[in-house]
Structure 1
Amino acid sequence: MRISARADYEVRAVVEPAVRQGEGPVTAEVVATAQDIPHTFLEGILGDLRRGGVDSRRGGGGGYRLAREASETTVADVIRAADGPIVSVRGERPSGLAYSGTAEPLLALWIAPRASVRGLLEGVTIAGPAAGALPEPVERPPAEPVAWENP
């Protein structure tokens, strides 16, 4: 699985208004500075998020806020807004693939990580990172050193 820079920035851009929820709308400048996201790139991201994650208000006192409660918005929701399906094969959902012959078992191989990643990302709401906490299976780093290395 590959998390795009856009998806990473989108999740970070949504966490910032969640952290500042009681302060009213958060400006793009505040998000860009707090999360070290290039401002011009952030504007495009916020455009995507207006279609599925944040509300915006123009003018004095304007800015961005979560469209739903942070506890109702999952990291998976935000990643889907950025990149579409969480795990795809050649840009297609595994459920849309068909293999035959000796390649037939590969379909299950592609669906297994998809189910695992979806389960993990759908189990983490934006409220978690905003509060500085993640579920125990996520917060506990993998014990295998190879998990932290690139082969």
Structure 2
Amino acid sequence: MRAALQLAASREDGPLKAEAIADAQDISIADVIRIVDGPLVSLRGVRPPELSYTGPAESLLPLWIALRSNVREILEGVSLADVASAQLPAEVSALSHAPGAWVDP
């Protein structure tokens, strides 16, 4: 709800109506998260490209970039309309059905 309110407030063409959310193929979940919380992925408040590591930890930077890329791919591939209709893209549904997906390590 908070995300929808902030998204509605940020629109230049007037308030966002409930019908627009249900038909919102062009509003991704990534868009909503960026409006509400800022960057999709950050470490200690820093975006991955702004990080630097040296020595044995140097390979962490490409790891964080890869993580961000995958988070972006998933969240940009799901729209508000997908969520409103309870019809997530097949790739996302498949990830949620993977063994261990619902288990905390």
Alignment partner of 1:86 is 2:47: no
- Ranges in structure 2 where 5+ consecutive residues have no aligned partner: none
Distance in 2, matches of 1:103 and 1:78, equals 33
Deviations 1:33-82 (A, max 9, x none): xxxxxxxxxxxxx2x321259943xxxxxxx4249x60111000001111
- Ranges in structure 1 where 5+ consecutive residues have no aligned partner: 1-8, 15-45, 57-63
Q: In proportion to residue count, which structure has more strand?
A: 1
Distance in 1, matches of 2:68 and 2:54, equals 20
**1:24-39 alignment runs, 5 A limit:** none
Alignment partner of 1:106 is 2:60: yes
TM value normalised by structure 2? 0.80
Aligned partner of 2:87 among 133, 139, 151: 133
**How large is the RMSD of aligned CA atoms in angstroms?**
2.4
Across the two proteins, how many residue pairs are aligned to each other? 100
TM value normalised by structure 1? 0.58
Aligned partner of 1:51 among 10, 14, 22: 10
**Matched letter for residue 97 of structure 2:** P
Q: Alpha-carbon deviation of 1:99?
A: 1.2
| Equivalent in the alignment of 1:5 | none
Aligned partner of 1:142 among 97, 100, 103: 97
Q: Are 1:53 and 1:78, in contact at CA under 8 Å, matched by a contact in 2?
A: no
**Matched letter for residue 78 of structure 2:** V
* Greater radius of gyration (CA): 1
Q: Higher relative contact order at CA 8 Å, sep ≥6: structure 1 or structure 2?
A: 2
Distance in 1, matches of 2:27 and 2:12, equals 8
After superposition, the Cα gap between the structure-2 partners of 1:107 and 1:127, relative to the gap in structure 1 and judged at 3 Å, is same
After superposition, the Cα gap between the structure-2 partners of 1:53 and 1:10, relative to the gap in structure 1 and judged at 3 Å, is farther
| Equivalent in the alignment of 1:119 | 73
